[in-house]
A and B are shown apart, each in its own frame.
Chain A
Amino acid sequence: MAPEEMGKVTQRLRLWFAISSVLFVVVLAISPVKDLRHEWKQYKRAYVRYAESRPDTKRLLADYNPDIDQVWIPEMNVVDRCTTCHQGISKNSLADASVPQPFRAHPPIPHSIVNWGCVICHRGQGPATEVAEAHTTTLAWEQPMLPARFIQGPCGSCHLADRPETPKLNRGRALIDRLHCTGCHRLQNIDRPAMLGPDLSNVGTKVSRAWIYKWLKEPRTIVDADGNTVTNGYLTEEEPRMPFFKLSEDDLRALSGYLSTLRSHPMESSSINAAVLAKWAKNPETVSQGETRFRQMFCSTCHSLAVTRAGETKLIGGNIGPELTKVGSKVNPEWLVGWLRNPAGYLPHTRMPRYGWTDEDLYKVTRYIREQMVDPDLLKGVPALEQASPAEIKRGRELFLEKGCSSCHVIEGVPPQKDFGPDLSALGAKNVSQLDFGQSKIPRTLVSYIQAKLTDPSSVNPSARMPKFNFAAGDLDAITTALLSMTGPPATSALQHQVVPRDTPTFTAAGAFGEVYTRYRCYVCHKFNGYGGDLAPDLSYEGSRAQRAWLISFLKKPQTLRPTLVLRMPEFNMSDKEAATVADYLKMVLQHPAVNPDEANARASTPQLAALGKQLYEVKYQCQSCHTIGSGGGYVGPNLNNAGNWLTPAWMEAWLKNPQALVPGTIEPRRAFTPQEIQALTAYLMTLRHSGPAAAAGRGAQ
């Protein structure tokens, strides 16, 4: 090779060498530059700038660290680097909503971030150091942060017992329980109750085939905004538990045919003399007297009726039992009489009490129901249905099993189906890749999957057997929250130790009291030692609270103690013996340990003491802001006009000392009364006595 050519090559090589060296340096520099521009470092610097723009810079930067911050709790699998960017999270002065995110302080919550980290509650990817990786779903991470409106879900993964702080979760759990999702699904910590839907063994005696047809076709009970009935009755706040199955015309015919033939035993028939009946029938007041009885018995405490006033239709009444506006057009008359006489004779587990009706009352009330609570259009649009053919009956029975009806409904001789639907006990921890979104266009997240399934199961899977429910938006979020709480067993043993179990109290009432208690279904509204409903006062300590004579007269003729209450204790027509049995049991068994009757009874009350009490009541403490005595006062607390006949002095003293010790969560504020003030107030309250018929009746029964 010629030397000049050699020189050229060398020159070229040199040039190449120079260029590649420069490139090499540039490439080397990429990494530190990239590192400097890391998202989290930008937030770190922005925080310093922000802190410097505020007067409390020193305090805000006291524990500043230019590197990645993390909460590391190995025993709970927590490696959370969220505080790298959320640097003000525990700085009180950054609590205001005007502080820009991600620097704002976390609102105070019962758990400290140091002990729990963030991800246990919020989910997301704790160790991530990039905004998208930490918050959203990425290829490598399938558990994005929960939208904050579902944040109560994770509370429920450890707190299996309901807490007052998490109303949405509690509501969701209650709905899941009430709607009997457990009929088909296995769910964490919610047991399958003994009875789900009504027993259908005898449904043929209750309703016609046409009604069954209509119900299966449109189980919704809705009235539209103009007051026009759309389907079977009225929209109640409570979702009817019977969901909407999309059934074909043939299916409707077959199922209604099959069900209408179910008559396992005849209803108890009445044995009233025909002449007596004829006499009652002639009474022109029968229907209006029936209505009066219906009101007096306070049926509306459990059942609602639609009332139209000034063009607006509203449901008035409780929701323990079904809405009754049109029940007269629904049920067979013989069934109605038999049911009212003894509900358990038709449905052994019903919550409906067995009233002590006289035959005449029963006659009037059923006449009222059959003549006034009706709707001639109830069965509009139902085709003419004759006696069911054997083929229809056979097909109906097959359908009953195919559709999973026997998951919720019992029919004698038909085996129950358990776990008909998929197991949902760990749904809340599912990864997106474990969910089948089918052809649907919804966002690929667990939350949207759950909500789409709940809103319309067939939107995700066109052949889903799951029926359609019709949830209000708030309830949809509540149920989603509760489902998100079901994440299966805790991931680590440290978390396992945090689990607060759910307790399921039971109360067994034995002997003569047990019979009365079961007959009148006291537990549907009242609680006894933690077991029972919460519509009416907790009776666990009623024996310490009320005087025996008052209890008896109240049971015989309940009056309301709180004028603001719409829902009242029904009048059961209890016998004297039953009322005495209840009163004796309450006085003997349902006592509060902190209420000592002997001590209070031994204290002598003097007129001076009572006068001092009156003074305290009216001037110093102004109790009249909530309680009524005479005709003046507030109506937040009970009316005290008859306190001297109603309450025991021992209860009053203990109550005034510390109301929450006797009834946790009562709204009566606890005061710092001196012992002398307590005695004076008690002495005054004991002088307040009605001398009306109620008190006399009470004394008579004793």
Chain B
Amino acid sequence: MNARLALVMACLFALTATSACRKKSAAPPDPLRRAYDVETDWNDPQKMIPLNYQEAQGKRLFYADCVWCHADSTPAGPSNRSNVTPAPPLMNDGATLNGESDEYLRNIIMLGGSAMGKSAMMPPYGQTIGEKEANQLIAYIRAIAQPPYQPSAKPQSGYPAKQ
């Protein structure tokens, strides 16, 4: 009889135990393979940077409009960077651009250099692209920055989703 009781108890225990423990989900997949697009780190051709949708659209706009002056090589070959004065910052130049606010970047992209007291050689893009595209460009600039961009009011990270 005691054996029977034990059996019943064991079954019950097993039942609760299985319902309590769950399949552990697999290790998080490689972020590059999950990314919408990737960009090579300009300073380190071996390293790839994953881009989300927003940043990937910024990359597309950058390679259409900005690469000519803000990179040292372009899809068409030589860069125009040496023809403009002052030499524009490379678009991944975190040392220069990380310190600028999104607001400032949006303004210089939309209104051009002369409106911001900078060189008129930085053209205004406000009539060509919209604010949405300017934000995509900024997202891309932030994503490729070296040293990496850290948003100022950074929320704490690594918060466990489960106890």
| CB < 8 Å neighbour of A635 from B52, B83, B157 | B83
Residue in chain B with minimal CB distance to A93: B155
Least Cβ–Cβ distance between A690 and chain B, in angstroms: 22
9-residue interface stretch from B39-47, B91-99, B121-129? B121-129
**Chain B residues with CB below 8 A from A132, complex form:** 23, 25
| CB < 8 Å neighbour of B5 from A19, A96, A635, A670 | A19
> What string of 1s and 0s marks CB contacts (under 8 Å) between A193-209 and chain B?
00000000000000000
Residue in chain A with minimal CB distance to B68: A636
Given contacts A98-B155, A667-B64, contact A147 B33 (CB under 8 A): yes
> What string of 1s and 0s marks CB contacts (under 8 Å) between A23-64 and chain B?
100110010011001010011001000100110000000000
9-residue interface stretch from A102-110, A264-272, A344-352, A383-391? A102-110
Given contacts A37-B20, A564-B78, contact A100 B125 (CB under 8 A): no
Q: A7-26: which residues lie under 8 A (CB-CB) from chain B?
A: 19, 23, 26
Q: Is the CB of A147 within 8 A of B84?
A: no
Q: Is the CB of A672 within 8 A of B127?
A: yes
**Chain A residues with CB below 8 A from B5, complex form:** 19
| CB < 8 Å neighbour of B128 from A100, A164, A624, A669 | A669
Q: Is the CB of B60 within 8 A of A167?
A: yes
Given contacts A39-B22, A625-B121, contact A107 B54 (CB under 8 A): yes
The contact size tier of chain B is 35 or more
At the interface, yes or no: B117 with Cβ under 8 Å from chain A?
no
**Chain A residues with CB below 8 A from B78, complex form:** 564, 635
| CB < 8 Å neighbour of B65 from A27, A168, A667 | A667
**Chain A residues with CB below 8 A from B69, complex form:** 625, 634, 636
- Bound together, the chains give a CA A667 to CA B68 distance in angstroms of 10
At the interface, yes or no: A340 with Cβ under 8 Å from chain B?
no
**Chain A residues with CB below 8 A from B128, complex form:** 660, 669-670
- Bound together, the chains give a CA A634 to CA B64 distance in angstroms of 16
- Bound together, the chains give a CA A151 to CA B34 distance in angstroms of 9
> What string of 1s and 0s marks CB contacts (under 8 Å) between B43-60 and chain A?
000000000111101001
- Bound together, the chains give a CA A133 to CA B34 distance in angstroms of 19
At the interface, yes or no: B8 with Cβ under 8 Å from chain A?
yes
Residue in chain B with minimal CB distance to A636: B68
Residue in chain A with minimal CB distance to B154: A98
| CB < 8 Å neighbour of A54 from B12, B121, B155, B158 | B155
Given contacts A96-B151, A148-B36, A671-B127, contact A634 B83 (CB under 8 A): yes
- Bound together, the chains give a CA A665 to CA B132 distance in angstroms of 16
At the interface, yes or no: A588 with Cβ under 8 Å from chain B?
no
**Chain B residues with CB below 8 A from A565, complex form:** 76
| CB < 8 Å neighbour of B52 from A107, A147, A165, A670 | A107
At the interface, yes or no: A507 with Cβ under 8 Å from chain B?
no
The contact size tier of chain A is 35 or more
Q: Is the CB of A669 within 8 A of B125?
A: yes
- Bound together, the chains give a CA A585 to CA B29 distance in angstroms of 58
**Chain B residues with CB below 8 A from A43, complex form:** 161-162
- Bound together, the chains give a CA A100 to CA B57 distance in angstroms of 24
Q: Is the CB of B22 within 8 A of A102?
A: no
Q: Is the CB of A634 within 8 A of B156?
A: no
> What string of 1s and 0s marks CB contacts (under 8 Å) between A564-607 and chain B?
11100000000000000000000000000000000000000000
Q: Is the CB of B19 within 8 A of A100?
A: no
- Bound together, the chains give a CA A103 to CA B156 distance in angstroms of 13
At the interface, yes or no: A633 with Cβ under 8 Å from chain B?
yes
At the interface, yes or no: B159 with Cβ under 8 Å from chain A?
yes
Q: Is the CB of B34 within 8 A of A622?
A: no
Least Cβ–Cβ distance between A636 and chain B, in angstroms: 4
At the interface, yes or no: A189 with Cβ under 8 Å from chain B?
no
Q: Is the CB of A96 within 8 A of B154?
A: yes
- Bound together, the chains give a CA A37 to CA B123 distance in angstroms of 58
Q: Is the CB of A149 within 8 A of B34?
A: yes
**Chain B residues with CB below 8 A from A168, complex form:** 37
Q: Is the CB of B60 within 8 A of A164?
A: yes
Residue in chain A with minimal CB distance to B25: A131
- Bound together, the chains give a CA A669 to CA B123 distance in angstroms of 7
**Chain A residues with CB below 8 A from B139, complex form:** 107
Q: A145-171: which residues lie under 8 A (CB-CB) from chain B?
A: 147-149, 151-152, 164-165, 167-168
**Chain B residues with CB below 8 A from A42, complex form:** 162-163
Instruction: Identify 17 residue pairs between A and B in the complex whose beta-carbon atoms are under 8 Å apart, listed by A's number.
Output: A98-B156, A98-B158, A101-B161, A108-B53, A148-B36, A168-B37, A564-B74, A564-B76, A619-B120, A621-B120, A622-B119, A625-B80, A634-B83, A634-B84, A636-B69, A665-B64, A667-B65
In the complex, besides A132-B23, A167-B60, A671-B123, 19 extra interface pairs with C-beta distance below 8 angstroms are A19-B5, A37-B19, A96-B155, A98-B155, A107-B52, A107-B55, A107-B139, A108-B54, A149-B35, A149-B36, A165-B57, A620-B114, A622-B120, A625-B83, A634-B69, A634-B80, A660-B128, A665-B64, A671-B127
In order of increasing CB-CB distance, the 3 nearest A-B pairs are A98-B157, A670-B127, A634-B83
